[in-house]
């Protein structure tokens, strides 16, 4: 996985709503980090949760396996495989696995929330790295569009 800005190449993740996520046992794995967004796969163990949190970025979560309860700004909503939940930046949220199997989802942060190399086996490992400042989004993923265009990272012709 590259640590710098992504190349202008397709990133393909087959079976994201079926086979691939059901095989993941890691709490969090960053799959891809772009200039303006990030794709992360998460597995919440039976009885587990992601932690009550607030991000400074937008987040869209697609559930691929299991059942759970989402609490967004104090409002509860049951979630299951096939559901999509959007959490606007600055909004309190928590997701709890309420089922007998892992709650598996992929989430898209915009812009990135985690280090592009992040793999956390457990929630505790992720919490520790976040507290120690080891799981920060890359600086290049938080730059304004104008800076990326000036640096040649975004070309409206689509040719590089």
Q: Output the six-digit token pair for 107.
A: 């989430």
* Claim: this prediction has a pTM higher than 0.75: yes
- Mean pLDDT of successive 10-residue segments in the chain (160 residues)? 79 74 78 95 95 95 94 97 95 97 94 93 92 93 91 84
CA-derived radius of gyration, the chain: 16
Over residues 100-144, the pLDDT tens digits come to: 999 999 999 999 999 999 999 999 999 999 999 999 999 999 999
Please tell me the total number of residues recorded for the chain in this structure.
160
Compute the Cα dihedral for 82, 10, 14, 135 and give only its sign: negative
Which residue in this structure is represented by tokens 């007998």? 100
Which residue in this structure is represented by tokens 């592009």? 116
């Amino acid at each position: 996985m590259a640590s710098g800005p992504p190349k202008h190449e397709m990133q393909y993740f087959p079976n994201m709503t079926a086979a691939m996520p059901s095989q993941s046992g890691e709490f969090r794995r960053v799959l891809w980090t772009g200039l303006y967004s990030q794709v992360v796969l998460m597995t919440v163990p039976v009885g587990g949760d992601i932690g009550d949190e607030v991000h400074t970025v937008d987040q869209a979560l697609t559930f691929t396996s299991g059942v759970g309860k989402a609490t967004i700004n104090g409002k509860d909503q049951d979630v299951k495989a096939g559901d999509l939940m959007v959490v606007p930046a600055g909004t309190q949220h928590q997701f709890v696995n309420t089922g007998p199997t892992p709650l598996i989802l992929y989430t898209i942060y915009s812009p990135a929330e985690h280090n592009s190399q992040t793999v956390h086996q457990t929630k505790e490992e992720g919490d520790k790295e976040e507290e120690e400042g080891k799981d920060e989004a890359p600086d290049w993923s938080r730059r304004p569009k104008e800076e990326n265009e000036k640096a040649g990272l975004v070309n409206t012709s689509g040719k590089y």
